[in-house]
Structure 1
Amino acid sequence: MVIPDAGIDWDACIGLLLQAMQSLQQGLLHVLAALDATRDIDGQPAWPFALRLSGEVMLIDRSVARALLAALAYSAAALLLAALACAWKRARIPLLLAGGALLLFTPWPDAALFTAPAAPTSFHVSPTGFSASAIVRGERLYTQQCIACHGADGRGNTPLGLSLPVAPPNLSSGLLWRRSDGDIFWSLQHGKGGMPAFATRISVADSWALIDYMKANAAGVGIAATGAWPRPVALPDIALACRTPGAPGTPDTTRLSQWHGQRVRLVVAESGKAPPTEDPRLQSVLLDGAAASADSVGAIACANNQRDTLRAIAIITGTPEDKLPGTQLLADRDGWLRARNAGGEWSPDDMLCRSTTAVEGAGSGAGNAAGGMDQLIAAMDADPVRFAKGGFFTHRQR
Structure 2
Amino acid sequence: MNGLPAQAWLNTLLVLLQDAQLALLRLWHALGLSGDAHGQPAWPWARRIAGETLLIDLGLARQLGFSLGTVVFALALLAMAVAWRRRRAVLLALAALALVLAPWPSPSLLFSAAAPTSFHSSPTRFSVDAIARGATVYARHCASCHGDDGRGEGPQAASLKRWPPTLVSPLLARRADGELFWHVVAGMRDPQGEVTMPAFARALDDADTWAVLDYMKALAAGSAAAANGSWPMPLPLPDTRVRCGDDASPRSLAQWRGGQRVRVVAFDGDLRSLPMLDPRFQTLLLTRDGTLPAGVPRFRANCVAASAQAWEVYARIAGVPADRLGGMELLADRDGWLRARGAPGRRDWSDADMVCRSGAPAEATREAPAADGLTALVLRMDGEPVRFVKGGFVH
| TM-score after normalising by structure 2 | 0.89
Q: Could you say which residue in structure 2 is the equivalent of 1:196? A: 198
* Distance across 1 between alignment mates of 2:11 and 2:318: 30
Confirm whether residue 92 of structure 1 aligns to residue 95 of structure 2.
Answer: no
Corresponding letter in the other structure for 2:250: T
Contact 1:138 1:206 (8 Å CA) reproduced = yes
* Distance across 1 between alignment mates of 2:264 and 2:6: 38
Corresponding letter in the other structure for 1:373: L
Cα distance per residue 1:225-283 (max 9 Å; x no partner)? 2111232112111111111xxxxx55341011122321111001133334223221111
- Distance apart, 1:160 and its partner CA: 2.5
Cα distance per residue 1:134-159 (max 9 Å; x no partner)? 11221111111111111122222345
Relative to structure 2, which stretch is displaced further, 88-97 or 316-325?
Answer: 88-97
- Distance apart, 1:293 and its partner CA: 6.2
Corresponding letter in the other structure for 2:263: R
Q: Could you say which residue in structure 2 is the equivalent of 1:352? A: 355
Q: Could you say which residue in structure 1 is the equivalent of 2:166? A: 170
* Distance across 1 between alignment mates of 2:362 and 2:391: 26
Q: Could you say which residue in structure 2 is the equivalent of 1:338? A: 339
* Distance across 1 between alignment mates of 2:315 and 2:363: 28
Q: Could you say which residue in structure 2 is the equivalent of 1:72? A: 68
* Distance across 2 between alignment mates of 1:182 and 1:109: 26
Corresponding letter in the other structure for 1:47: W
Partner of 1:71: helix, strand, or coil?
helix
Contact 1:176 1:215 (8 Å CA) reproduced = no
Contact 1:240 1:256 (8 Å CA) reproduced = yes
Corresponding letter in the other structure for 1:375: A
* Distance across 2 between alignment mates of 1:330 and 1:137: 24
Confirm whether residue 308 of structure 1 aligns to residue 306 of structure 2.
Answer: no
Partner of 2:361: helix, strand, or coil?
helix
Q: Could you say which residue in structure 1 is the equivalent of 2:192? A: none
* Distance across 2 between alignment mates of 1:348 and 1:279: 19
Taking the TM superposition and a 5 Å limit, the aligned residue runs for 1:16-165 are 16-158=12-154, 160-165=156-161
- Distance apart, 1:53 and its partner CA: 1.7
- Distance apart, 1:367 and its partner CA: 8.7
* Distance across 1 between alignment mates of 2:147 and 2:286: 30
Corresponding letter in the other structure for 1:227: G
Cα distance per residue 1:176-206 (max 9 Å; x no partner)? 3221111111110111121111111111101
Change (3 A) 1:51 1:323: same
Relative to structure 2, which stretch is displaced further, 43-52 or 339-348?
Answer: 339-348
Q: Could you say which residue in structure 1 is the equivalent of 2:271? A: 273
* Distance across 1 between alignment mates of 2:306 and 2:244: 12
Q: Could you say which residue in structure 1 is the equivalent of 2:328? A: 327
Partner of 1:284: helix, strand, or coil?
strand
Contact 1:150 1:158 (8 Å CA) reproduced = yes
Corresponding letter in the other structure for 2:339: R
Contact 1:177 1:390 (8 Å CA) reproduced = no
Contact 2:362 2:384 (8 Å CA) reproduced = no
Contact 2:243 2:306 (8 Å CA) reproduced = no
Relative to structure 2, which stretch is displaced further, 77-86 or 279-288?
Answer: 77-86
* Distance across 2 between alignment mates of 1:73 and 1:292: 61
Q: Could you say which residue in structure 2 is the equivalent of 1:254? A: 251
Partner of 1:224: helix, strand, or coil?
helix
- Distance apart, 1:294 and its partner CA: 11
Contact 2:256 2:336 (8 Å CA) reproduced = no
Corresponding letter in the other structure for 1:93: A
Relative to structure 2, which stretch is displaced further, 299-308 or 330-339?
Answer: 299-308
Contact 1:153 1:217 (8 Å CA) reproduced = yes
Relative to structure 2, which stretch is displaced further, 23-32 or 64-73?
Answer: 23-32
Corresponding letter in the other structure for 2:327: G
Change (3 A) 1:359 1:156: farther
Contact 2:250 2:306 (8 Å CA) reproduced = no
Partner of 2:251: helix, strand, or coil?
strand
- Distance apart, 1:295 and its partner CA: 11
| TM-score after normalising by structure 1 | 0.88
Tell me which of 229, 232, 235 is aligned to 2:234: 232
Confirm whether residue 184 of structure 1 aligns to residue 180 of structure 2.
Answer: yes
Change (3 A) 1:295 1:186: closer
State, as a whole percentage, how many aligned pairs show the same letter: 45
Relative to structure 2, which stretch is displaced further, 141-150 or 9-18?
Answer: 9-18
Contact 1:242 1:303 (8 Å CA) reproduced = yes
- Distance apart, 1:76 and its partner CA: 2.0
Change (3 A) 1:146 1:294: closer
* Distance across 2 between alignment mates of 1:359 and 1:79: 41
* Distance across 2 between alignment mates of 1:282 and 1:208: 30
- Cα RMSD (Å): 2.5
* Distance across 2 between alignment mates of 1:209 and 1:187: 14
Change (3 A) 1:98 1:144: same
Change (3 A) 1:295 1:182: closer
Q: How many residues align?
A: 377
Contact 1:348 1:379 (8 Å CA) reproduced = no
Contact 2:18 2:393 (8 Å CA) reproduced = yes
Q: Could you say which residue in structure 2 is the equivalent of 1:375? A: 376
* Distance across 1 between alignment mates of 2:269 and 2:359: 37
Q: Could you say which residue in structure 2 is the equivalent of 1:287? A: 286
Q: Could you say which residue in structure 2 is the equivalent of 1:388? A: 389
Greater relative contact order structure (CA < 8 Å, 6+ sep): 2
Q: Which segments of structure 1 move beyond 4 Å, counting only runs of 4 or more?
A: 292-297, 359-363
Structure 1: runs of 5+ lacking an equivalent: 1-8, 244-248
Confirm whether residue 317 of structure 1 aligns to residue 318 of structure 2.
Answer: yes
* Distance across 1 between alignment mates of 2:364 and 2:357: 11
